Structure 1
Amino acid sequence: MGNLIISGDNCDADNLTFKVVGDFGKWQLWISIYMAMIKLPLAWYQLNIIFMAPPQQFWCAKPESFAVWTDEDWRQICCPKNEEHPCLIFDPEILIFELNMDRSLIPLVPCPRFVYDNSVFNRTITSDWNLVCSKHWLIHFTQCVMMWGVLVGGIIFGVVADKYGRKYPLMIGITLQCTMSYICSITTSYWIFIINWSLLAVASGGIGIISFVISMEVVGGKWRTIMPIVYQLPFGLGNAVMAALAYWLRDWRKLEFALATLSSIYLIYWLLIPESPRWLLATGRNKKALEVLKKAAKQNNREKYYDAVLHNIIICKTRNRNDPGFIAFLRSENMRLKTLLLSLNWFFTGLAFYTFSQYLGLIGGNIFLAVAMSGFIYIAGGLTCILIITKAGRKTTIYIYQVISSLCFFFIILIPRDYYANDWPRLLFAGLGFAGLAGTVPALYLYTGELYPTLGRNAGVAGVTTFARIASMVAPAVVSLDDVRPDLPLILLTIVSAAQLVLLAPLPETKDRPLPDTLDQAEQFK
């Protein structure tokens, strides 16, 4: 079953909407602000694993039989020198009687209880549920569940939003998100936490896709180039807000509760957000569309335009439209190549963005400063993207930001850790590198949308950006490579970012060129 559109020369949903409300006015401004601010909680939940499970020192708890020994002496006595983490210790029952015995003759036994360094964080999911040693993989699993849920949520809510409208699925997602966040903050079982965490992730994925669609559907003209970039900016602010809260609270449960409370403020959107008039017109709900457009026209001081197209809206009927699905692009030679290259680009972009976001805590000595600074520089990267992309074109803009990211990753590798105060040079390049990623994401999103035809653009963009979500699930494993070799994740990201420059080369520039409307036109777009 295809999507529904308005039939007749004068019944195009886009044309009718923008004839009434204009390309951009006060009505669109407020809706754009509301949708962009939704990026705050999306940043909180997609990246708060940084503060839920930060790098944290731990050691084996001292048995009562060693009470006369200091904690430091106990740690020196019990831990094998070749063990990076105290998962196995020398058998205390033998040590207590034969302290000077040859260690090679003393068997290693699992540590029965761990003690965690709480000098920076009072409580983490690592310390609450002992996610160390054989359970360490559960930290990566937690983030994988989040990103998998975001992917699934985008698909499920996207289908529901096409069928039942934008507003109600969006509000269901917001309600589910803050409710699950509250529940996550009080759960005492890791697996119950994961169940609620997955539901929160699905809600976040749905909120992300619907809010973006709304922000695109209410604006027209040049604003459809600008808004995809502006929409992304609060994501960086979300990072900074989260870092400030984490610094103040130092407890993952309190942080989660605080984020849930802030997320609950978005419930007021029930009163502030109208249904998308474009969706209402496209599905034949003309009466409801008239109500929304009348209020919008009044807010934009365009009542006279509303009266001029009123007759056309009333007589519009609907018919079926069959847009090409994602598989259709794989059957066409030119579009198959574009889709393959874009899929790889999105995978590498997602891998770099989510890996580096989680790796920030390992770059500088101050995790709060690193995350907050990256957030503010993310905003700067997005703002500069608007200026560059309108002058230099889509491909050139992506090239510029990818080169910046690659060089910054390389310089971070060269600068030794803990050599300068607060590791400020590494933090500086980390911020610049994150700015490069911040400019790459919106530019690549816009570029991707322009390479696919109008009929099937949603399917094409959704299909290739899925690979960024898949990459986000791989990101925690890449971060863990730092335990194998210091800065190994950065070496990998440097190679990946440089590889993207090669992958972009065969793709055409879209700036100042008429965009394809059909699959046939997209096939000839070179």
Structure 2
Amino acid sequence: MSIIGTIYEDVTTDVLGHIGSWQWLVTFISATLMVPSMLNQYEDMFLLEPPREIECDVSASSSVFNTSLCTYSVLNGTKVYKCTTWHVKFLWMIWFKKSWLIFCDHKIKLLSTTIICRLGLVFGCIIFGLIADSFGRKLAISIDVVAELGFRLILTFCDSESWFLLLIFLRSLFASANIYMGIILTCEIASSSWRTLLNAVVSIPRMLSAVCLVPLANVAPNSETFNFIACIFSASLLILLRWTPESPQWLLYNRGIPKAEKTILRAAKING
């Protein structure tokens, strides 16, 4: 989706130099903005291990025995009942009640949740590619950060299966831009001699997700706690939007010459 390898690259490099403080700043900001996209694989990884600190609510009846996460039995009875309410220990200290738990659904529902999440990711990458080419890289990045924050917060306290599936899809759809947008932005501010190295730095979160996401996901006792922690991290990324520049190449290509000049000259001052 990016415009690279054109005469506009020479204009940017001639003013800024091959590498400088501004290019490194944009690179590290882009890498940080890609961290939530790494955490979004949590829905897949967490299914490998049952959640902890979630209890079936059986109203403390003395006749209940053999309680598990999803079922319980009644004394002097042979029938096994399914849990309909649960107590979730949120942030390791606060208990609240839920009337639906994804881990007690059938396996096919767990699979369908993952498929829905991935479908949102596929459509989101296509949509944000069009948005980034039409309205700019920074707008796509900003929508991603705000959507990640909002949907994470709602998912933390969602207590409905249908709404949960819808929110999973929407979050994957609206929070998929930064999976690759940081790489595009880095390509468009980096000179040819430094592009490979800077893109390797930006891709570090994606590489780490393949290495350490499983143990990281299973550190959190449940998805509610994990979503809220990720939500707090996403809120901190709002600060970085102030220092996230628009791509000078995109501005030049779309005839935004005055804005491109301001961006390049501001970057040149940072580079000295």
Which TM bucket (shorter chain)?
A: 0.7 to 0.9
Matched with 1:56 is 50
Matched with 2:8 is 13
SS in 2 for 1:112: strand
1:211–1:4 distance in 2 versus 1, CA, 3 Å = closer
1:130–1:276 distance in 2 versus 1, CA, 3 Å = closer
For the pair 1:171 / 2:152, whether they are aligned, the reply is: no
Number of residues of Structure 1 aligned to a counterpart in Structure 2: 263
For the pair 1:129 / 2:101, whether they are aligned, the reply is: yes
1:179–1:225 distance in 2 versus 1, CA, 3 Å = same
1:216–1:3 distance in 2 versus 1, CA, 3 Å = closer
> Residue deviations 1:14-59, cap 9 Å, x none?
11111111222111000000001122111111235423x343399x
Distance 1:245 1:186 in 2: 18
1:181–1:257 CA contact under 8 A, matched in 2: yes
1:217–1:276 CA contact under 8 A, matched in 2: yes
Q: 1:264 aligns with which of 221, 225, 235?
A: 235
Distance 2:259 2:234 in 1: 29
The amino acid of 2:82's aligned partner reads R
Q: 1:27 aligns with which of 22, 28, 53?
A: 22
> Residue deviations 1:376-414, cap 9 Å, x none?
xxxxxxxxxxxxxxxxxxxxxxxxxxxxxxxxxxxxxxx
Matched with 1:152 is 123
TM-score by length of 1: 0.43
2:158–2:164 CA contact under 8 A, matched in 1: yes
1:227–1:65 distance in 2 versus 1, CA, 3 Å = closer
SS in 2 for 1:23: coil
Distance 1:14 1:61 in 2: 62
Distance 1:171 1:34 in 2: 13
Q: CA deviation at 1:205?
A: 1.5
Matched with 1:338 is none
1:27–1:300 CA contact under 8 A, matched in 2: yes
> Residue deviations 1:325-347, cap 9 Å, x none?
xxxxxxxxxxxxxxxxxxxxxxx
The amino acid of 2:112's aligned partner reads F
1:22–1:161 distance in 2 versus 1, CA, 3 Å = same
Matched with 2:221 is 250
Matched with 2:181 is 210
Q: Where does the alignment leave 5 or more consecutive residues of structure 2 unmatched?
A: none
SS in 2 for 1:24: coil
Distance 1:3 1:184 in 2: 33
- The correspondence of residues 297-446 of structure 1 with structure 2, limited to 5 A, is 297-301=268-272
> Residue deviations 1:91-137, cap 9 Å, x none?
x89x85xx8xxxxxxxxx7x431499x9xx989xx99425446x222
Q: CA deviation at 1:178?
A: 0.8
Q: Where does the alignment leave 5 or more consecutive residues of structure 1 unmatched?
A: 6-10, 76-85, 100-108, 302-526
Matched with 1:79 is none
Matched with 1:38 is 33
- The correspondence of residues 84-123 of structure 1 with structure 2, limited to 5 A, is 96=77, 111-114=80-83
Distance 1:260 1:294 in 2: 35
1:246–1:255 CA contact under 8 A, matched in 2: no
Distance 1:285 1:297 in 2: 18
Q: CA deviation at 1:243?
A: 5.0
1:44–1:242 CA contact under 8 A, matched in 2: no
The amino acid of 1:29's aligned partner reads W
SS in 2 for 1:221: coil
Matched with 2:168 is 197
The amino acid of 2:174's aligned partner reads A
Q: CA deviation at 1:142?
A: 2.0
Distance 2:206 2:62 in 1: 50
1:114–1:130 CA contact under 8 A, matched in 2: no
Distance 2:253 2:228 in 1: 40
Tell me which stretches of 4 or more aligned residues in structure 1 moved more than 3 Å.
2-5, 64-68, 130-133, 235-246
1:71–1:178 distance in 2 versus 1, CA, 3 Å = same
Q: Which has the higher strand share?
A: 2
> Residue deviations 1:428-476, cap 9 Å, x none?
xxxxxxxxxxxxxxxxxxxxxxxxxxxxxxxxxxxxxxxxxxxxxxxxx
Deviates more, 1:29-38 or 1:191-200: 191-200
For the pair 1:183 / 2:183, whether they are aligned, the reply is: no
Distance 2:110 2:146 in 1: 26
Report the aligned-residue RMSD: 4.2
1:150–1:205 CA contact under 8 A, matched in 2: yes
Matched with 1:226 is 197
For the pair 1:47 / 2:42, whether they are aligned, the reply is: yes
Q: CA deviation at 1:237?
A: 5.2
Distance 2:129 2:214 in 1: 27
Distance 1:215 1:276 in 2: 9
Identity score, percent = 22
Distance 2:157 2:124 in 1: 24
Distance 1:3 1:213 in 2: 6
For the pair 1:67 / 2:39, whether they are aligned, the reply is: no
Distance 2:32 2:157 in 1: 26
Matched with 1:275 is 246
1:154–1:205 CA contact under 8 A, matched in 2: yes
1:181–1:197 CA contact under 8 A, matched in 2: no
Distance 1:223 1:280 in 2: 21
1:155–1:206 CA contact under 8 A, matched in 2: no
1:150–1:206 CA contact under 8 A, matched in 2: no
1:33–1:288 distance in 2 versus 1, CA, 3 Å = same
SS in 2 for 1:153: helix
1:46–1:146 CA contact under 8 A, matched in 2: no
Matched with 1:138 is 109
